[in-house]
Chain A
């Protein structure tokens, strides 16, 4: 009789115990132990995605633009070192972004890899530079050259760009196409001496719970 009872209660106990364990482990907390920090390369698509502008887009677009600028004859065969001024990028997409990040990365790519074949002018620092020049002119600080001679360089080229987008949304999902175009404009003639573009299209569909 004892043996029979054990046989009967064993599966019951097992079921109840597993039920308790399984039921109570579901606390409604997503990733209760957290998600460990995962270091990603800036040019790889991470596990957090959107159809918007992401770091891998920035890297691939700016790498392409930097390479393309250096292959432009006006830059590659320039007499002396061309001076470039950055003009703000125009964002016409539906994604609010820090637009300057594109030009910043193109500039750093060119500065680190172009070996002084181009120079950028720090126009955004003009206020501080003019203050410093005024201090030198007034004799309040020392100067290694004649402070009354204007040495601020003028631009040979302006580098600017535009981000434009097309968006489609339907029950099948959201599709975003972004065209990244950049131009190098001759400051003397207004000629567009270089232009290149990159295109990225992404699609996705959110969970039915949000539709």
Chain B
């Protein structure tokens, strides 16, 4: 009777483990257009990955000059990032022994959240709202504030620099923000903020970091550094030539965050998995020996059942880290501003390698119309399909 109960319990645990995971069926067909396909995944894909796809699709839209599309996607994603989800059931389950971390609603690691705010800030500035752009840059900097080593806390140069520039343009005193930017800059003295500069160039180049998992059970989240052939850029507008170096490196930002609270949770899960597995092995071996003796057969079978349960529990424990990544991010972020007379201008953006040679296949040309009443914002990526003001 006792034996049957043990077997029944074992089967139940197996059933739990087997049915806990489901796969969503694909109900859309790929077109090859990253924005259209991204929209389809957002609509039909798993809700937990919605923000991830909003990030990816927004960036694809931004690089194609589809700014309205990028805005709506980022606005929706930022609602999720910005909300304090005190009692999120899926997040709670993702901390449980038998659920993967990737079960939680994706919000991204700090460098990914920073980039969502950063891109939205650019779009606000493009729309003539430098104060809302500044708000985004401040929120972005806050996302980077919870680092393990406080030396790397809120250390994006560009975010503070843009905060200072926006403040100066809004007739405020941006000197504190500029001092912070200068203090964390590794590229020497930053150019002084020119509040009269009316053409703002946001440049990015290279391929940013991605995530992978390591450890016995893939419980340790790690970042694989991206690569960039491009090391700097040069903008030619009329008779002006402006050299632009990188301000921030996303590889550096991703790898200096330090340990997460979730890493401790995953480490505990890994220990639990190892312990239950070892216990299961010991119980199975001991049980087999004990069960071979007719006098202790019942106890041996009990131990075997216990060992089986322990092995199943171990197998069902999922300590693997969440490696969903916002792929497609750049490695380097850069910025410059120029003072141009109102009217039409043609800007040529050349990307240069480490030796200062122009990578001609990456050169972009933008026809910009400088307005007299507000700043003209130009976003150019080495991966842009098009660039327009």
Give Cα A8 to B7, complex, Å: 12
Which residues of A are interface residues toward B (Cβ below 8 A)?
7-9, 11-12, 15-16, 18-20, 22-24, 26-30, 48-52, 90-97, 99, 167, 169-171, 173-174, 204-211
- In the complex, whether B366 has a CB less than 8 A from a CB of chain A is no
- If over half of A's interface residues share one DSSP class (helix, strand or loop), that class is named, otherwise mixed; here it is mixed
Interface range on chain B: under 10, 10 to 19, 20 to 34, or 35 or more? 35 or more
Which residue of B11, B94, B132 is within 8 Å of A19 (Cβ)? B11
Which residue of B104, B121, B132 is within 8 Å of A210 (Cβ)? B104
- Which single residue of chain B is at the shortest CB-CB distance from A23? B19
Q: Are B89 and A91 in contact (CB under 8 A)?
A: no
Q: Which residues in A have their C-beta under 8 angstroms from that of B22? A: 27-29
Which residues of B are interface residues toward A (Cβ below 8 A)?
1, 4-5, 7-9, 11-13, 15-22, 46-47, 82-92, 94-95, 101, 103-104, 107, 120-121, 124, 129, 131-136, 138-139, 142, 145-146, 170, 172, 260-262, 265
Which residue of A12, A16, A173 is within 8 Å of B15 (Cβ)? A16
Q: Which residues in B have their C-beta under 8 angstroms from that of A211? A: 146, 260-262
- Which single residue of chain A is at the shortest CB-CB distance from B79? A50
Give Cα A99 to B134, complex, Å: 14
Cβ contacts A to B, 23 pairs, < 8 Å: A11-B4, A12-B8, A15-B12, A16-B12, A19-B11, A23-B12, A28-B22, A30-B47, A30-B90, A52-B82, A91-B131, A93-B138, A95-B135, A96-B120, A96-B136, A169-B145, A171-B146, A174-B142, A206-B85, A207-B87, A207-B88, A208-B261, A210-B104
Shortest distance from the beta carbon of B51 to any chain A beta carbon, whole Å? 11
Shortest distance from the beta carbon of B214 to any chain A beta carbon, whole Å? 20
Q: Which residues in B have their C-beta under 8 angstroms from that of A7? A: 1
A-B Cβ contacts below 8 A, count: 141
Contacts A18-B12, A49-B83, A207-B92 given; indicate if A96 touches B132 (C-beta within 8 A).
yes
Q: Which residues in B have their C-beta under 8 angstroms from that of A94? A: 135, 138-139, 142
Q: Are A97 and B84 in contact (CB under 8 A)?
A: no
Shortest distance from the beta carbon of B323 to any chain A beta carbon, whole Å? 15
Shortest distance from the beta carbon of B102 to any chain A beta carbon, whole Å? 10
Shortest distance from the beta carbon of B326 to any chain A beta carbon, whole Å? 15
Which residue of A22, A92, A204, A208 is within 8 Å of B84 (Cβ)? A204
Give Cα A177 to B362, complex, Å: 45
Shortest distance from the beta carbon of B137 to any chain A beta carbon, whole Å? 9
Q: Are A92 and B131 in contact (CB under 8 A)?
A: yes
Q: Which residues in A have their C-beta under 8 angstroms from that of B47? A: 29-30
Q: Are B91 and A50 in contact (CB under 8 A)?
A: no
Beyond A26-B16, A91-B134, A96-B120, 18 extra complex contacts between A and B, CB < 8 Å: A16-B11, A19-B15, A19-B16, A23-B18, A23-B19, A48-B83, A49-B86, A92-B131, A93-B138, A94-B139, A96-B124, A96-B135, A96-B139, A97-B135, A207-B95, A209-B104, A211-B261, A211-B262
Q: Are B16 and A206 in contact (CB under 8 A)?
A: no
Q: Which residues in A have their C-beta under 8 angstroms from that of B138? A: 93-94, 167
Q: Are A167 and B84 in contact (CB under 8 A)?
A: no
Q: Are B20 and A26 in contact (CB under 8 A)?
A: yes
Q: Which residues in A have their C-beta under 8 angstroms from that of B92? A: 207, 209
Q: Are B86 and A90 in contact (CB under 8 A)?
A: no
Give Cα A91 to B95, complex, Å: 38
